[in-house]
């Protein structure tokens, strides 16, 4: 029997994981500047947390949930996205209290699960870096959230991106638009795809997002939501556009853009890439929007919210396709070369002391000859080697070599154990001369 990972999952092995840590590190630093703090919610939630919020007719709920009944007959779901769980936690922990600053800003990173057909940039277990901000309806926050997402992608090294925005208005705008859309689509019902026929009476907005070619032709002439916005919704969207311009962030408006999740209203956005990684097709790397009403839907007070989710696998695929060099610092500070079995105890003590002093250190455990050990040191990009043989051991010394310059000095073991900072400084200085 051959064991394989489940379809649609990957192993993030050492080497690969360094890239993840790099991206996550950039995100953490950036979120700190915008004053978003981390939240960690469970990876599974009660089924209703998602079924009630993502939308009963959404693909996520109808086709993609990893749900099961646990041994206590509870209906459980592996989270398909981050927002609903964070909103649940926001309500349950009463993070809307008067003593809590508004907006309440939080971020998360972690695995999400959707039973989708795996392909490049689409997996069944994938990872999102996401943010949510609660308690502010001001469109300035919408723009700041988009600006933060773009900053994050730029800091990771991506520049060739497209920001696409739309508005879904408020409930009144949507009711008016819903009616207009039905009036347009109903006479064309027989021409719609089977999926869209079904969507027509349950959630016609979804048809705008159809991947079916004929649906898309029909939708191309559909009325635009922008013509049905209430004054308030139009003013909100106008301010978003004005402030994006003020920050000199280019954007496109796509009036047919809807999202795969039902909780959105007002501003929605996607940041897309047409990298080779996706065969040159425009693919969404990061997406989000406003969800006023979601907090109430999960039993909380009337508190608006907005956020985004960024697909980490997709980001890494684009970075790779665009040949963006991630500055991964995996070099080794010191490789300790021990010559002969007699040095085993001392080299053990040396690597231990160096690590304790704050340096990365390695040694050999396979009894290899010095030549093999130096080879390892080179492969690990060691800056320094510290060599000790029987003679040095007796003299209480070791040989420190700068692998870049070839400079060599004898150092006392006492210095290695208690004064390595100075020794290190000296030899690194000699590198510069
Ligand atoms: P979403 O558009 O469903 O939004 O997902 C956000 C991002 O997650 C996508 O743009 C994509 O990069 C990535 N993603 C989604 N599904 C997959 C998959 N199967 N494989 C790989 N990557 C995937 C949300 O999830 C919302 N919770 C975002 C949000 C936060 N809105 C407001 N706050």
- Percent of the chain clearing pLDDT 70 (strictly above): 99
Q: What is the CATH number of domain 16-170+230-321?
A: 3.30.930.10
Nearest-5° Cα angle at 131, 128 to 133: 160
Return the domain boundaries, the chain. Answer: 16-170+230-321, 332-432
Least confident of 239-248, 253-262, 291-300, 353-362: 253-262
Q: Which residues line ligand 1 at a C-beta cut-off of 6 Å? A: 81-83, 114, 116, 121-123, 126, 128, 130, 132, 260-261, 284-289, 307-309, 311, 313-314
Residue 355 has pLDDT above 90, yes or no: yes
Residue 29 has pLDDT above 80, yes or no: yes
Q: Tell me, what's the pLDDT at 330? A: 83
Q: What is the 3-state secondary structure (H, E, C) of 328-390?
A: CCCCEEEEEEECCHHHHHHHHHHHHHHHHCCCCEEECCCCCCHHHHHHHHHHCCEEEEEEECH
Cα torsion 67, 71, 74, 77 to 10°: value is -20
Q: Tell me, what's the pLDDT at 431? A: 59
82 is annotated as contributing to ligand binding: yes
425 is annotated as contributing to ligand binding: no
128 is annotated as contributing to ligand binding: yes
Q: What is the CATH number of domain 332-432?
A: 3.40.50.800
Instruction: Locate the ligand 1 atom nearest the alpha carbon of residue 114 and give its number.
Output: 19
* Mean pLDDT within 29-58: 94
* Mean pLDDT within 366-387: 96
Q: Give the residue among 177, 179, 212 at the shortest CA–CA distance from 196.
A: 212
Provide DSSP, 390-430: HHHHHHTEEEEEETTT--EEEEEHHHHHH-HHHHHHHHHHH
Q: Tell me, what's the pLDDT at 432? A: 60
Mutate to test the pocket of ligand 1, among 116, 283, 309, 315 (most ligand atoms within 8 A of CB): 309
- What mean pLDDT value characterizes the chain? 95
Q: What is the pLDDT of residues 137-148, one digit of tens each?
A: 999 999 999 999
Rounded-to-integer distance, Cα 121 and Cα 312, Å = 9
Q: Which residues pair with 271 in a beta bridge?
A: 163, 286
Residue 433 has pLDDT above 60, yes or no: no
Cα of 128 from ligand 1 centre, angstroms: 7
Q: What is the pLDDT of residues 116-128, one digit of tens each?
A: 999 989 999 999 9
| pTM of the predicted model as reported, rounded to 2 decimal places | 0.93
Q: What is the pLDDT of residues 153-192, one digit of tens each?
A: 999 999 889 999 999 999 999 999 999 999 999 999 999 9
> Is residue 315 within 8 Å of 271, Cβ to Cβ?
no
417 is annotated as contributing to ligand binding: no
Mutate to test the pocket of ligand 1, among 6, 89, 128, 144 (most ligand atoms within 8 A of CB): 128
Angle, helix 83-92 to helix 47-54, in steps of 10 degrees: 110
Q: What is the pLDDT of residues 55-104, one digit of tens each?
A: 887 888 889 999 999 999 999 999 999 999 999 999 999 999 999 999 99
């Amino acid at each position: 029997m051959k064991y394989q990972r489940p379809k649609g999952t990957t192993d993030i092995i050492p080497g690969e994981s360094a890239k993840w840590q790099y991206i996550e590190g950039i995100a953490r630093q950036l979120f700190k500047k915008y004053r978003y703090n981390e939240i960690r919610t469970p990876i599974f939630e009660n089924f209703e947390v998602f079924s009630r919020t993502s939308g009963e007719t959404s693909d996520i709920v109808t086709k993609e949930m990893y749900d099961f009944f646990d041994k206590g007959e509870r209906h459980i779901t592996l989270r398909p996205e981050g927002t609903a769980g964070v909103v649940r936690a926001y309500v349950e922990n009463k993070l809307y209290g008067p003593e809590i600053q508004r907006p309440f800003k939080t971020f998360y990173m972690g695995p999400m699960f959707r039973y989708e057909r795996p392909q490049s940039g689409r997996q069944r277990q994938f990872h999102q870096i996401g943010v949510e901000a609660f308690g502010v309806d001001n469109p300035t926050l919408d723009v700041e959230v988009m600006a933060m997402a773009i900053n994050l992608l730029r800091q990771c090294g991506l520049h060739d991106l497209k920001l696409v925005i739309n508005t879904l208005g408020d409930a009144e705008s949507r009711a008016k638009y819903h009616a207009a859309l039905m009036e347009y689509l109903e006479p064309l019902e027989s021409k719609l795809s089977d999926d869209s026929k079904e969507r027509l009476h349950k959630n016609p907005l979804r048809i705008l997002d159809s991947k079916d070619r004929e649906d898309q032709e029909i939708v191309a002439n559909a009325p635009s939501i922008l013509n049905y916005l209430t004054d308030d919704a139009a003013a909100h969207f106008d301010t978003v556009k004005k402030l994006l311009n003020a920050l000199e962030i280019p954007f496109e408006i796509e009036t047919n853009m809807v999202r795969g999740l039902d909780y959105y209203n007002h501003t929605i956005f996607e940041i897309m890439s047409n990298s080779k990684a996706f065969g040159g097709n425009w693919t969404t790397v990061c997406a989000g929007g406003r969800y006023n009403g979601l907090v109430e839907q999960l039993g909380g007070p009337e508190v608006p919210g907005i956020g985004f989710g960024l697909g980490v696998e997709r980001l890494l695929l684009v970075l790779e396709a665009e040949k963006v060099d991630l500055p991964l610092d995996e070099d080794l500070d010191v490789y300790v070369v021990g010559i002969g079995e007699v040095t085993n105890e001392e080299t053990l003590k040396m690597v231990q002391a160096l690590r304790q002093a704050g340096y990365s250190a390695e040694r050999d455990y396979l009894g290899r000859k010095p030549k093999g050990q130096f080879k390892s040191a080179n492969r690990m990009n060691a800056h320094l080697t510290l060599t000790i043989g029987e003679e040095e051991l007796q003299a209480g010394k070791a040989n420190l070599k700068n692998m870049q310059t070839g400079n060599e000095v004898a150092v006392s073991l006492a210095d290695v154990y208690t004064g390595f900072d100075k020794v290190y400084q000296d030899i690194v200085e000699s590198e510069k001369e």
